[in-house]
Chain A
Amino acid sequence: MSGSLFVQHLFNAVTLGSLYGLIAIGYTMVYGILRLINFAHGEVFMLGAYFVFFGISLFHLPWGVAVIGSIAVSSLCGIFVDRIAYKPLRSAPRISALISAIGVSFLIQNLAIVIFGGIPRPVARPDWLVQVMKVGEVRIIPLAIVVPLVTLALVLGLLWIVYRTKPGLAMRAISKDIETTRLMGVSVNKIIAFTFGLGSALAAASGIMWALRYPQIQPFMGLVPGLKAFIAAVFGGIGSIQGAVIGGMLLGLIEIMAVAFFPQLSGYRDAFAFVLLIIILLLKPTGLMGEKLEDKI
């Protein structure tokens, strides 16, 4: 493989990895606090993409407004899902909440079919994002630089919220010990809603950039990236934001590079993540950066 081709693959991998990483953050934050796999997270990703493109094509909003609006509405959707489907089950067995989450995931997918239609829609992309640039021998589109930069900015912003603000402090406290945090006078439910909002906003941002990178949207587009991003979160160590980003990046690298070096494996691409999951769970269930979760007796 020539050097320039390798660099092109590397850009693809970092783009894909950024998108996985952004979704994975939402999984890891919710799991860190509630020990719940938010199965509907991939659907928020899908909604984010749809909201932008309907905002532009139906309401003729400018790009910036559509993006901000979509992220805002998507995070409200995330909060709403928590309020309706998870909050009543806080004291129920954990698997009940997971089944509810699976139900919500199917519900949103099929609502999207009813409302938006099941046919895949092409996405019109702004020209400046997709004009091919040549840097030496390497041919890339600006999007391949924009996506990682936006991701970096979002992750830095999130880390600032989590480590430098009061709500962030409360989030970290809840993930250590929810009952004690409640006794300290933190209104736990508000912080949980805030967490869902943050995670959903990042998923929506990822969905929008996904639709720009792979310019087609359809109601099932969130399912597979969502599952893979959860695997990335487990890979990085569930509960750790940095871990989720690193896990996402590594998963993106593995998917792109394995197919680049072994083209005969391209049919198996969607299986890599799951094989990886089974290997991690066997060798290091806590992931790369995760803390050990003890079962309380």
Chain B
Amino acid sequence: MANSIRIRCRRDVLDSDGVRRIRYAALEILERTGVTVKSKRAQRLLVDAGCDLDEKSATVRMPPSVVEGCVRRKKRSVTLHGRTPAHDARLDGGHVHVCSDGNGTMAKDFDTGERRISRKEDVARAALVSDALEGHGVNWPSVTSQDVAAGTRHIHDLQASLENTEKHITLATNTTEWEVEDVLAIAAAQAGGADEFARRPFISSIHTSSSPLQIEADGMDAGFVAADGGMPICFYVMPGPGATGPVTLAGSVAVAVAEALAGNTIIQLHRPGTAFVFSCGMAVLDMKASMRAGGGPEHGLTSAAFTQMAHSMGFPALAGGFVTTSKEPDQQAAYEKFASAVTPILAGADMIAGIGLLEDCRTVWLEQMVIDDEISRIIGRMAQGVEVDDESLAVDVVDRVGPGRDFLGQRHTMERFRTEHFMPIISDRSSWDSWVQSGSKSILDRARERVRGILDEHSVEPIRDEVGETVAELIERRRR
């Protein structure tokens, strides 16, 4: 599959006993403690299915039979369609699709270098750059448009994304029913009708819980509209170990799984057969800085454990990775992003979110996006592992070359070096002399050049004119 990492060499972080115990713990949490569900529609669905509702606190206790019954109702095979079919991302458990992530509020201006509030142009540029990257598969708008009229952000975010990428778009700015309706109207304009869109949904919808164990009314009701429109639902949960979840990773993963199962139960009761993606971003609270420690070693571990839990129940997983709390694309950014990405990718998370952002997913840097693409492709090579077969063992080639000669001039070498070896794009492996001769460029300089090249040269298939008309109408109607 284009722009994805094939997982040959899976590395789990939970053993089968761990998977079983976390599952039972999650079911116990749902049955004993329950989840606060504010949506009246959701409450009715749950009560009708046999759950227990405490009207006063809006707490719903869910019997395991209902929760597990709904696990079986979900859509089995989930494809996040691209705007063009070449970019379809099938969540088949064997590939990882790296996403840009999501809804940052700041941008480092590529031209002026200023760190400022994110604008629509940042959404557009980030989408165009990520569209060009081989190590990137799904576009979750990196930041959100804050230079537009109140009430129209979701419209602008989607328009800027559609215009600049052919890859699947997963959206999180549609948090109310009417916002989702707008998204569906724009999607239908591009697809040539609502039914056409539902057949090949190239936009999915992110909805969230509020940890620990709360599901808000607006977000859930918006999820119903999205599911009815045919959009896959990514239900994103974020218990932070030590703060909004137990300090222990196992305990917080159990809470996360409970929340995701609650979300699935509600969605499947509303519309059986909806594509549901278990989604999480779980970083601990730094006990000194009192900030979320996105990109810490626990972040990758929780993402990987949550992925295993999702897969054990037949759900695809979207998990946080490529995260850092660093303020600029420095060594801390590099090691935190690598560490938080490698664990869930090797665990086979179907989607990893995070590339391009710094300050714990707050600020987009286009240079960081191409650096993360390089990291993504490095981990992709790691996930390929060491393939052993007659062709790769190559004893005939060894015999032909013999002792003391080199393998460079062998056809075996030429035919395989591109797939057998990681091919760097911005990493520098030249000699000192060559490096000095070409200007002693830092990784940031080289990343900048690549971004510049993409911005100048990359283009995507244009969208339909109808999209512009629909967008204009909606903006007129929604602006406040």
Are these two chains actual partners, yes or no? no
Interface of A with B (CB < 8 Å)? none
Using CB atoms and an 8 Å cutoff, list the residues of chain B in contact with chain A.
none
